[in-house]
């Protein structure tokens, strides 16, 4: 079975260790980006250059990851605030019955393992989302957020993180 669909735009420099253990279709993946096992990336997702997407993460339609973004293990994106299987008349929903709500993760941001990102969120440049957070509001550039719902707990430049990776952000 082919697990990277022929309609995926995949740069030759991307690293996908187990190509038969990912599910990628209709998406675009930038140069040097690394993708772990059991990752699903849906159609119309754009992943920038130099990203790292750890195992078991789900990146749904409507998500854009800018360059240098880190996605931890088991990160869940969402694109529908009130999802339903069926319409009011009981008929099965199709793509025509709902609208994808877009999400943007700006350059060099990092999302901790098992975080859930609700629809329509922008995660700012170099921001850090804590493990297990449920992100319900936009995250400012350089902020650290954690918890359920996620709240700002600090700034990355106050921590001993790799400042080079933050592009000198203050």
Ligand X SMILES: CC(C)(COP(=O)(O)OP(=O)(O)OC[C@H]1O[C@@H](n2cnc3c(N)ncnc32)[C@H](O)[C@@H]1OP(=O)(O)O)[C@@H](O)C(=O)NCCC(=O)NCCS
Residues that bind ligand X (CB under 6 A): 72, 112-113, 128, 130-132, 144, 146-147, 153-154, 159
Q: Which residue's CB is nearer to ligand X, number 68 or number 130? A: 130
Q: To which residue do tokens 């957020």 refer?
A: 145
Distance from C-alpha of 33 to C-alpha of 105, rounded to nearest angstrom: 15
Helix (H/G/I), strand (E/B), else coil: 74 = coil
Q: Which residue's CB is nearer to ligand X, number 74 or number 119? A: 74
CA 101 → CA 50, 137, 149, distances in Å?
25, 14, 19
Q: Which residue's CB is nearer to ligand X, number 48 or number 74? A: 74
| Bridge partners for 139 per DSSP | 123
Nearest-approach distance from CB 149 to ligand X, in angstroms: 11
Tokens matching residue 169: 């952000």
User: Which residues have C-beta within 8 Å of that of residue 92, sequence separation ≥ 6?
Assistant: 85, 86
Tokens matching residue 140: 């400012």
Q: Which residue's CB is nearer to ligand X, number 10 or number 150? A: 150
Q: Which residue's CB is nearer to ligand X, number 23 or number 114? A: 114
Nearest-approach distance from CB 74 to ligand X, in angstroms: 9
Nearest-approach distance from CB 81 to ligand X, in angstroms: 23
Nearest-approach distance from CB 56 to ligand X, in angstroms: 11
Q: To which residue do tokens 């001993």 refer?
A: 160
Biggest CA pair distance of the chain: 55
Nearest-approach distance from CB 115 to ligand X, in angstroms: 7
């Amino acid at each position: 079975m082919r697990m990277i669909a022929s309609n995926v735009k995949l740069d030759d420099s991307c690293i996908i260790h187990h190509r038969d253990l990912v599910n990628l279709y209709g998406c675009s993946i930038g140069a040097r980006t690394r993708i772990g096992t059991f990752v699903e990336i849906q159609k119309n997702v754009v992943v920038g250059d130099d990203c790292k997407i750890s195992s078991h993460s789900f990146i749904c339609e409507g998500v854009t990851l800018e360059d240098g973004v880190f996605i931890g293990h088991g990160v869940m994106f969402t694109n529908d605030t009130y999802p339903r299987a069926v319409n009011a008349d009981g008929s099965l929903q199709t793509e025509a019955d709902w609208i994808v709500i877009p999400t943007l993760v700006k350059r060099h941001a990092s999302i901790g393992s098992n975080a859930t990102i609700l629809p329509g969120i922008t995660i700012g440049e170099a921001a850090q989302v804590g493990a297990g957070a449920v992100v319900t509001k936009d995250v400012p550039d350089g902020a650290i957020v954690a918890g359920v719902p996620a709240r700002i707990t600090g700034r990355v430049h106050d921590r001993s993180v790799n400042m080079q990776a933050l592009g000198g952000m203050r």
